Chain A
């Protein structure tokens, strides 16, 4: 089992003819991802690494029965590509592109309301990887190990860092989900936590947040009310100078919340153990798993 993507994923790559897309699609295929189509307008009829290319997402879906898409399209066209994928009612759309204008994403979110079936991950995210089954995006494959811990993070490199610390400690993973760092985006912590909570193969979850917004605080409330499994937390940005990242009007809406201290307090209040530094995420996980009596089940040394 896994969350969001796995053996049954039939993947479209939007922007497949681009350099970054080709590079990462090759790694994804070597990892076992079932890539069924590429979309690059004006390139229909061509093939890239044996993958048929279509002009539109609708054509690609009709011809191949695809149910997922990953988008590597330049920022000025990316919101349009996201809406095209959402309109085809795929199960999941993952957008890697960074620097998409915020107001473009505001339109995307409004558009999504008419297509509730599709989940959006990103933009500006490292993607998602289900260990040994599918890789959509940029996550390095060698840092993973099959197991029973789910990873959710707003940051790319912190996803890798946390995952690798787990692997080195002998703790394997089910799926790693990189939510992305943009202010207006698709999937948030609660959507990913819900999926891991329902996944029988996942026994515990690592959740990595950062300053800005109130998604971590809301996730903490949700965990307190619904979560059946241990959660280990980490928040980056304790030393961030206020106002450098978010304009003060943004802070008005969130009621002055959004600092690292607020988030850590909210997580602790929900009974979540929070690693004190980025170097201690793996150790903290081991300690929590032992306390919960599931360390042996999660330790998947081969």
Chain B
């Protein structure tokens, strides 16, 4: 789960990490009020969306008086911001962060994540702050320094000290940076983060250390023990179809093409997206119905896929293990009754109760449903039907 920058900063502040003074604002008037209270020589107006690259896209502005704050706020709010992380469709800006400008001496990078292979929490630091850390990793990996944490004892002061020295902080700022690292590690572990990033971490001309930007991602599997984190969720930032799917315990990712698919199991679902592409189609989505499907859940999955106007065919690819083919078939029939089948549905069923499932589909004799024997044939047919529908438009 992701949260906004201003929420991440509030959490960091709670853990003793210095952040610029500031407040969120939801209207130009509120932005002006916050700026007036701050009374800073330079005020920063920052768009709050769940994506990076805001600065380059015009989502971060420096204002020198209250009128400018109000003007920039009205320019950014309610508009779509297109960054390299939002995709071409962009993201609507509904919130701003208004904060005081900082007197920057130098920018650094600090991040914490989990290394899946070694099963360790890792701190990463670099003197190349402010830019895309992926670029640094690709072009100059020697400029990124790492500390691996033993989970039994946690981050040790000598590690924070070593990382601080390697990152090249001047001697009189090092103590503050070490404390910040220890605090960020504590936050990471106590809140079950999957990623904590401060980019840039700023050394000011006055020799202070400030988290100028902040990003926190959380482990979805651990949210059950963090209701306070769950409460920060901003549903308007999530894809409406992905949100509806999550509510129905479906795993759905929008991919933008016209051949939808409904599959059981993440691995087979990914492989199904691949095979649609292999036969020349454009996959509309990734959809894993999970392991314990009910007729209602399958009907909801079909409703969600069909709610995408771009979709021209649906490929149902099921290998029943825990799932039963008769339940899947029942779901297709139910969806036809409840919401109607708007596009052709190609169904390949194998595994548990396969004969019962095929029987249900044959007896329902739905004109839009095509039952196929082999996965390969199903993928080809779904691609072909989508292409035909496209030509007919």
Q: Does A187 contact B (CB under 8 A)?
A: no
Additional A-B contacts beyond A140-B351, A181-B266, A250-B115 (13; CB < 8 A): A101-B225, A106-B151, A143-B351, A157-B319, A160-B351, A208-B267, A211-B270, A238-B274, A239-B255, A252-B111, A253-B146, A277-B379, A279-B379
Give Cα distance in the complex from A254 to B113, angstroms: 12
Contact A252–B144 (Cβ < 8 Å): yes
B residues near A250, Cβ cutoff 8 Å = 113-116, 195
Closest B residue, CB atoms, query A108 = B119
Give residues 131-159 of B contacting A (CB, 8 Å): 133-134, 137-138, 141, 144, 146, 150-152
B219 touches which one: A101, A236, A254 (CB < 8 A)? A101
B residues near A154, Cβ cutoff 8 Å = 267
B residues near A184, Cβ cutoff 8 Å = 114, 116, 119
Q: Does B192 contact A (CB under 8 A)?
A: yes
Separation in Å of the A281 CB from the closest CB of chain B? 9
Contact B152–A110 (Cβ < 8 Å): yes
Q: Which of A101, A249, A254 is packed against the most chain B CB atoms within 10 Å?
A: A249
Separation in Å of the A126 CB from the closest CB of chain B? 7
Closest A residue, CB atoms, query B256 = A241
Contact B222–A102 (Cβ < 8 Å): yes
Q: Which of B85, B264, B277, B350 is packed against the most chain A CB atoms within 10 Å?
A: B350
Interface string of A146-163 (1 = CB under 8 A from B): 000000011111101100
Contact B151–A107 (Cβ < 8 Å): yes
Closest B residue, CB atoms, query A161 = B319
Q: Which of B116, B150, B189 is packed against the most chain A CB atoms within 10 Å?
A: B116
A residues near B375, Cβ cutoff 8 Å = 278-279
A residues near B270, Cβ cutoff 8 Å = 210-211, 236-237, 239-240
Contact B265–A155 (Cβ < 8 Å): yes
Please choose the segment from B54-62, B74-82, B120-128, B298-306 that sits at the chain A interface, where 4 or more of its residues have CB less than 8 A away: B120-128
Q: Does A213 contact B (CB under 8 A)?
A: yes
Contact A253–B265 (Cβ < 8 Å): no
Q: Does A138 contact B (CB under 8 A)?
A: yes
Interface string of A203-234 (1 = CB under 8 A from B): 00000101111110000000000000000001
Give Cα distance in the complex from A181 to B253, angstroms: 17
Give Cα distance in the complex from A253 to B119, angstroms: 12
Interface string of A249-261 (1 = CB under 8 A from B): 1111111100010
A residues near B141, Cβ cutoff 8 Å = 255
Give Cα distance in the complex from A75 to B273, angstroms: 29
Give Cα distance in the complex from A211 to B269, angstroms: 13
Q: Does A49 contact B (CB under 8 A)?
A: no
A157 touches which one: B150, B267, B274 (CB < 8 A)? B267
Give Cα distance in the complex from A50 to B363, angstroms: 42
Contact B117–A214 (Cβ < 8 Å): yes
Interface string of A38-59 (1 = CB under 8 A from B): 0000000000000000000000
Contact A277–B134 (Cβ < 8 Å): no
B192 touches which one: A101, A183, A239 (CB < 8 A)? A101
Q: Does A248 contact B (CB under 8 A)?
A: yes
| CB-defined A-B contacts under 8 Å, sample of 16 | A101-B219, A106-B121, A153-B267, A154-B267, A156-B265, A158-B267, A239-B270, A239-B277, A240-B270, A241-B253, A247-B113, A247-B217, A249-B113, A251-B134, A252-B134, A253-B122
Interface string of B340-362 (1 = CB under 8 A from A): 00000000001110000000000
Q: Does A299 contact B (CB under 8 A)?
A: no
Contact B253–A244 (Cβ < 8 Å): yes
A residues near B275, Cβ cutoff 8 Å = 277-279
Give Cα distance in the complex from A253 to B277, angstroms: 30
Q: Does A164 contact B (CB under 8 A)?
A: yes
B residues near A121, Cβ cutoff 8 Å = none
Closest A residue, CB atoms, query B193 = A103
Contact A158–B271 (Cβ < 8 Å): yes
Separation in Å of the A78 CB from the closest CB of chain B? 10
B residues near A244, Cβ cutoff 8 Å = 253
Separation in Å of the A80 CB from the closest CB of chain B? 13
Interface string of B9-29 (1 = CB under 8 A from A): 000000000000000000000
Give Cα distance in the complex from A276 to B120, angstroms: 34
Q: Does A100 contact B (CB under 8 A)?
A: yes
| Given A101-B192, A106-B121, also A161-B219 (CB < 8 A) | no
Q: Does B194 contact A (CB under 8 A)?
A: yes
Q: Does A105 contact B (CB under 8 A)?
A: yes
Interface string of B375-393 (1 = CB under 8 A from A): 1100100000000000000
Q: Does B48 contact A (CB under 8 A)?
A: no
Give Cα distance in the complex from A28 to B118, angstroms: 33
Closest B residue, CB atoms, query A260 = B274
Give Cα distance in the complex from A254 to B276, angstroms: 29
Interface string of B234-264 (1 = CB under 8 A from A): 0000000000000000000101000000011
B residues near A208, Cβ cutoff 8 Å = 267
Q: Does B172 contact A (CB under 8 A)?
A: no
Contact A103–B267 (Cβ < 8 Å): no
Closest B residue, CB atoms, query A184 = B119
Q: Does B71 contact A (CB under 8 A)?
A: no
B residues near A109, Cβ cutoff 8 Å = 119
A residues near B85, Cβ cutoff 8 Å = 243
Contact A239–B273 (Cβ < 8 Å): yes
Closest 6 pairs between A and B when the two form their complex, measured CB to CB: A155-B267, A157-B265, A109-B119, A278-B271, A101-B222, A158-B267
Closest A residue, CB atoms, query B379 = A279
A residues near B134, Cβ cutoff 8 Å = 248, 251-252, 256
Contact A138–B144 (Cβ < 8 Å): no
Q: Does A35 contact B (CB under 8 A)?
A: no
A residues near B197, Cβ cutoff 8 Å = 249
